[in-house]
Amino acid sequence: MKLNTKLREQLKIPLGVLVEEKHTTKENILGHISESSYVITVGDATTEKMLNFGIVPSLQIVDGLEKRSKRQPPKSNATKMHCHNPPAQITEESIRTIKQAYASAPPTQILVTGEEDLLVIPACIYAPDNSVVLYGQPNEGLVIVQVTNEIRNKTKKLLQSME
């Protein structure tokens, strides 16, 4: 499934609470996450930031890129899984891998060959109850999404509107 121009604009709107970069502290983040939350991070910088704060995400989706520049994926003791997901797309393989990760014992890290940005969408759709998805909003900060039925429905519509 490929991203279209109309959807590209829609995705610039955060799915959850935007915490400005200067306010992205461990305390602020923990204010949005309960101890029993299933924490999902999408993005290398976001995952690394959580790990540095001592927050170990249950699912970490990374691609070894930050703002399109190569970098080392965050070091984590998580079980590793792999998938291919080209830029501006969501592949069936990546969706299967996310579902498989949810069925595995956490923590799990999915290493994406390609680009992980749009995988926020299936991460929200298939997330277990009581999940929180964290992802970076470029040059703005961190988005914290409490996964609710409303968010699942919204992300399903986004996925269905892809070509």
**Do the annotations mark residue 44 as ligand-binding?**
yes
Tell me if the pTM is above 0.85: yes
Query: Per residue of the chain (163 residues), what is the pLDDT tens digit?
Result: 888 877 888 888 999 999 999 999 999 999 999 989 999 999 999 999 999 999 999 999 999 887 777 888 888 899 999 999 999 999 999 999 999 999 999 999 999 999 999 999 999 999 999 999 999 998 899 999 999 999 999 999 999 998 8
Number of folded domains in the chain?
A: 1
What is the spatial distance between Cα 74 and Cα 136, in angstroms, rounded to a whole number? Answer: 15
pLDDT score recorded for residue 70: 80
pLDDT score recorded for residue 76: 87
pLDDT score recorded for residue 85: 97
Residue with tokens 């969408």: 121
Beta carbons of 63 and 112 less than 8 angstroms apart: yes
What is the spatial distance between Cα 20 and Cα 133, in angstroms, rounded to a whole number? Answer: 16
Beta strands in the chain (DSSP E): 17-20, 38-42, 59-62, 65-66, 69-70, 79-85, 108-114, 131-137, 141-146
pLDDT score recorded for residue 5: 79
**Do the annotations mark residue 129 as ligand-binding?**
no
Residue 53 belongs to what domain range?
5-161
